[in-house]
A and B are shown apart, each in its own frame.
Chain A
Amino acid sequence: MLNNLLAILLFPGFLFLSIFGLVAEYADRKIYARLQNRVGPPIFQPLADFIKLIAKEEIIPTDANPTMFKLAPLFALTAVVTAIFNIPLWNTGALFSFTGDAIVVLYLLTLPTLCFFIGGWYSSSLFARIGSVRAVTALFSYEVPLFIGVLSSAMLADSWSLSEMAVFYEKHPWFWLFNLLGFGIALTALLGKLEKGPFDIPEAETEIVAGGFTEYSGRFLAILRMAIDIEMVVGASLLAAVFLPFGLNSGPVLGFILYVVKVFFIVALLSLMRTIVARLRIDQMIEFCWKYLVPLGMVQLLINFIIKGVILQ
């Protein structure tokens, strides 16, 4: 019992995720800057931003609903921290695993977007409302490709539990190479979930100031940004567990290092992808996701069907 509590609060729970989230944000910003021939922030910059935001005054608009306005960031943070416990990180067993926990993790990762919608809507500012509506509209475009990507890998392993998938891929090494198309699709969909890259429409700075986050300041903005950073780490961990499940039984130290390398690799890919494209309009994003990503997902599913039928029988 005490073991579990320490795991939830410290490692690999809240404290570890916070630090890892800040370091991942630094890596993302540094890579983004270096790709653009700039210097980029120093390593303590995300921590400095966090401390500065906590020290500032919160301003809640008069027309806003104070309860929802304050609770939305907290719910987002809780949801992403809860999701990490079902993902196998550096060995084939997650902290808590049960059948169908892949779906639970995907559901928990959807909650932050809904919390951003609620926070933006109840801010009752025009820009925030437009931003929050855009966030939910985008949700309808990238959720399905993400699900299909994770589903294709789960289908090959014949299980809905992430830990059992990890055990399967350990027994059949190199089978994760069949899922590379799904990896690409899930990576693009993850860009949409994290509101980065060509899909940062809900937070388009040049159009609607800051979207759903416009009215947030002080502590709540600090919690929101922490939730976004941790969402990036958890999303990358999910992708690492589903699509790069190799070396999971290499022992505690090597396994941990391998896990960190995998997460930074995915973060680097995300940074590269958001550097080389412009922002899409919301209607273009819906068109792109449904016209290109979903059919590619179907192709990946078909490939995995064939492999399951032919090779594994």
Chain B
Amino acid sequence: MKFGHTRLGKMAVEVLKTFFQKPNTVLYPAEKIEMPEKFRGKLKFYPEKCIGCQLCVKDCPSNAIKIKKLANGKFEAEIDLDKCIYCAQCVDSCPRKALEATKDVELAQLDSKKLKIFINAGPQEKT
């Protein structure tokens, strides 16, 4: 078993240098990191563009999105934020680009009912 020269405490120099550097830890939530452009966070739905083809519902791996017809040409999306796996396959499947992935990742809630969101073209977003 041949080795080159060995040293005890090889990391000593590096470790002492690190002592005087700023720690690598991000002090969340005081400091926050910005997510990159293509990051797949919470979904955003544009009800005016939706045509109700249900392709997003068919392709979702976890049945997290449902499209309901409210009236002729008016659709509502019901998204389960705890079922969604944030894969953005629905974003790709939509032929009218009515879905978009945002960079929002702070989705924790204390009440599980708040994790089901309804988005429609009405005057307010019902939660």
Binding site for B on A (CB under 8 A): 31, 33-40, 272-273, 275-277
Contacts and interface: CB of A to CB of B under 8 A. Distances in A.
Contact of A34 (B9, B19, B27): B19
B21 interface: yes
A276 B12 contact: yes
B25 A35 contact: no
B43 to A, nearest CB: 35
25 contacts: A33-B23, A34-B18, A34-B19, A34-B23, A35-B18, A35-B19, A36-B15, A37-B18, A37-B21, A37-B23, A37-B24, A38-B23, A38-B24, A39-B23, A39-B27, A272-B12, A272-B16, A273-B9, A275-B11, A275-B15, A276-B11, A276-B12, A276-B15, A277-B8, A277-B9
Question: What's the interface size class on B, roughly?
Answer: 10 to 19
Closest 6 CB pairs of A and B: A276-B9, A39-B23, A35-B15, A37-B24, A39-B25, A37-B18
A273 B11 CA distance: 11
Interface string B12-42: 1001101101011101000000000000000
Contact of A272 (B15, B23, B24): B15
Given A35-B18, A36-B18, A37-B18, A276 B10 contact: yes
A101 B74 CA distance: 91
Name the residue in B19, B21, B24 with the highest tally of chain A Cβ atoms < 10 Å from its Cβ: B19
A276 B24 CA distance: 19
Interface of B: 8-12, 15-16, 18-19, 21, 23-25, 27
A39 B23 CA distance: 6
Contacts of A275: 11, 15
Contacts of B19: 31, 34-35
A102 B25 CA distance: 45
Contacts of A36: 15, 18
Contacts of B12: 272, 276
Contacts of B10: 276
Nearest to B25: A39
Contacts of B8: 277
Contacts of A37: 18, 21, 23-24
A244 to B, nearest CB: 21
A38 B25 CA distance: 6
A272 B15 CA distance: 9
Nearest to A273: B9
A37 B17 CA distance: 10
